Structure 1
Amino acid sequence: MLTQAQLDFFHTNGYLIMRGLIGGRELARLQEQADHVIVQGVAGQGKHHLYRSSPDGKTTYWRSEEMWQRDPIFQAVTVNPDLLENIGQCLGQAFYPWNDSLVVKVAGAGAPVDWHQDPPYGDQARERSYPVPNFTTDIYLDHSGPENGCVWALPGYHLVGHVDLEHRTSDALFEDSGAIPIEMEAGDVLFHPISLPHGSRASTSRQQRRIFYVHYLAEEVFADAYRNDQKMHWGEEKRAQIEQMIDARRAEKWEIPTERQTVRLTDDGFVFVGTPTTPRAYWGELSATLSPERVAAMKQLIPLQKGI
């Protein structure tokens, strides 16, 4: 369970690292099945694989979607009780797993990812971030550092909506914007907001980097940002999918979330009922503390003057 200090760090900086949250047989099974998917992706076999340009100009495997359909381990990990506790604490209201994918930098030819904010924050019309926290849960299956293309991010920029990244070069964003590398180890979990500017360099390292992404969200966030997406949102079908995930975890004889006193599966999704937790729509409250001058400067990545 997260401490109040961890919650405060997350909401202030826009990212949170939980060391060693996934381990043992659970991590080993994830790594094993991820490798099966990667073999298929590199070979161009099967569906829902994505590709990017590698440093040598060739097309290289980068990502696979719909992991829940590939092996029960991806379902079982999605409802890990420790994970759900921490998500519930950071989100502050009912939530559910909405989307999943495997993102990879293959050994020797890991493709770069340009600086960006995840949808919908690439849209200039997103002048402020939505009041309800919206973040991805990134489960690392390998070491990730600058030498093998780790994620870099701009801490604190998650509350100001769209940020104008286009007027800076990629090198300037990595080297002269206050960006930090987020270094991770196998079994660590990263929460990073959809609105947080981030990117990664190409990797020619012999060490691959695998991440199992799960996007959990509140239904009102879906209605605000993703209602036109075809992915399943909250309802009877999603509730049945979650029950299937719990069954996958039960089949492994691992703790299931409904055995926790702090996690409940309700008619609205999972809810964290312990303490400490996050006030409802807390990012709206935090965003309101930023002056218009400060927000404008942050959107343009302009160094802030004292007192703004």
Structure 2
Amino acid sequence: MSTQQLISSQETGKLQIKHLKRYWHKHMLKKEAKLDQGDFEDEWQTDATLLSTLGLGLEPTLKYLYHTSPSFDEFENWILATTPQPDLNKIFNFNKLFSKEYQSFGFESISYEVLSPEDLKFWEENGYVIIRNAVSREICDLTIEALCDHIEVDRYDASTWYKQHQSRQGIMVQLFQHPLLEQNRRSLKIRKAYEELWQRTDIWVNTDRVGFNPPQTASYKFPGPYLHWDMRTFTTPVPFGLQGILYLSDTAENQGAFTLVPGFQHKIDDWLVNLPKGVDPQKQDLYSLGAKPIAANAGDFIIWHHALPHGSRPNTAKLPRFVQYINYMPAN
């Protein structure tokens, strides 16, 4: 299938958002094996920004498209039923990305209001930083309550923690749409920290899920994810990129804490170059690189350079770990 045969990003439907019809068309063609899964990989960031604009999670969107094979009209109806009313200002700004006159508007001078000089020094050395009190403890508790209600568990009753629920995938919980999750994503402190690290303001928040990591038992073992990268491809030099996680509860090192390899953003290029040809970086002993669990409190937000191997770990404490994944990135 040639590029010319694919619907143009300029073509819109009733939501009046560009690229959506092309996005739908690409995945319908891939489902029918008329496009390879890797085709139009260069549009991945545009696709991600489209979903951010509409407040859609990647996984539920792809699940709907591939399991349902909807018409474009049905896809738009599903979006309207899944998310709050689309933000017209966001759609307007997204559509500007496809204008011939578009120029990035986000490179004005950034003042440091969240990250201190000490934070920036720590970031440069270690590739991660903790934003303290990014969300109030009260809102974190309410978010945990919403998460627990969704998967039908009691935060403090261990007898409820291990039952099956269709929204549980390992320690991930497929909950994307909730007013509290959206409120946390819009934390001014979190956004400003991302702007200060990106050194630009034209960044878009994703719609990601939450996490529930209960303690290990004789019958329940930690399912992962162990240390890994979320980068789609490994090229050198590894480009700049960020990821983030909000602790919804106080989390000790042994409580399934978020774990990473500090400072590896300075080493990854040489490490990748020196791997034997054909070896998968994800299948190496990443823990031998110097993994560190990060303890932090409810409402603290951790941002890390995506070049750092990262993951969770077995919870050997007495209470579950609750988190929300939040990330901001530019459209380009």
Q: Is TM (by shorter chain) over 0.5?
A: yes
Which residue is equivalent to 1:31? 144
Q: Is 1:4 aligned to 2:117, yes or no?
A: yes
Which residue is equivalent to 1:140? 247
Q: Is the 1:158–1:197 Cα contact (8 Å) retained in structure 2?
A: no
Match of residue 149, structure 1, among 256, 268, 271: 256
Which residue is equivalent to 2:39? none
Which residue is equivalent to 1:234? none
Q: Tell me how far apart the structure 1 counterparts of residues 181 and 311 of structure 2 sit (CA, whole Å).
A: 25
Q: Aligned AA for 2:209? A: S
- RMSD of equivalent CA atoms: 2.5
Distance 1:87 1:154, change over 3 A: same
Q: Tell me how far apart the structure 2 counterparts of residues 106 and 187 of structure 1 sit (CA, whole Å).
A: 19
Which residue is equivalent to 2:235? 126
Q: Is the 2:261–2:310 Cα contact (8 Å) retained in structure 1?
A: yes
Task: State the aligned residue count.
Answer: 197
Q: Tell me how far apart the structure 1 counterparts of residues 316 and 132 of structure 2 sit (CA, whole Å).
A: 26
Q: Aligned AA for 1:201? A: R
Q: Tell me how far apart the structure 2 counterparts of residues 15 and 200 of structure 1 sit (CA, whole Å).
A: 15
Structure 1, gaps ≥5 residues long: 52-61, 221-308
Instruction: Give the structure-1-normalised TM-score.
Output: 0.57
Which residue is equivalent to 2:83? none
Q: Aligned AA for 1:28? A: D
Q: Tell me how far apart the structure 2 counterparts of residues 39 and 136 of structure 1 sit (CA, whole Å).
A: 28
Q: Is the 1:140–1:188 Cα contact (8 Å) retained in structure 2?
A: yes
Q: Tell me how far apart the structure 2 counterparts of residues 193 and 199 of structure 1 sit (CA, whole Å).
A: 13
SS of the equivalent of 1:115 reads coil
Q: Identity of aligned pairs, percent?
A: 19
Which residue is equivalent to 2:209? 101
Q: CA deviation at 1:42?
A: 5.7
Q: Tell me how far apart the structure 2 counterparts of residues 84 and 199 of structure 1 sit (CA, whole Å).
A: 23
Q: Aligned AA for 1:197? A: P
Q: Between Structure 1 and Structure 2, whose CA radius of gyration is higher? A: 2
Higher relative contact order (Cα pairs below 8 Å, separated by 6+ residues): 1
Q: Tell me how far apart the structure 1 counterparts of residues 117 and 124 of structure 2 sit (CA, whole Å).
A: 11
Q: Is 1:90 aligned to 2:203, yes or no?
A: no
Instruction: Give the structure-2-normalised TM-score.
Output: 0.53
Q: Deviations over 1:105-151 (max 9, x none)?
A: 1234443322211132xx4x422221xx4222211012323322212
Which residue is equivalent to 1:115? 227
Q: Is 1:166 aligned to 2:283, yes or no?
A: yes
Q: CA deviation at 1:179?
A: 2.5
- The aligned runs of 1:226-241 (5 Å cut-off) are none
- The aligned runs of 1:216-231 (5 Å cut-off) are 216-220=328-332
Structure 2, gaps ≥5 residues long: 1-113, 154-160, 273-280
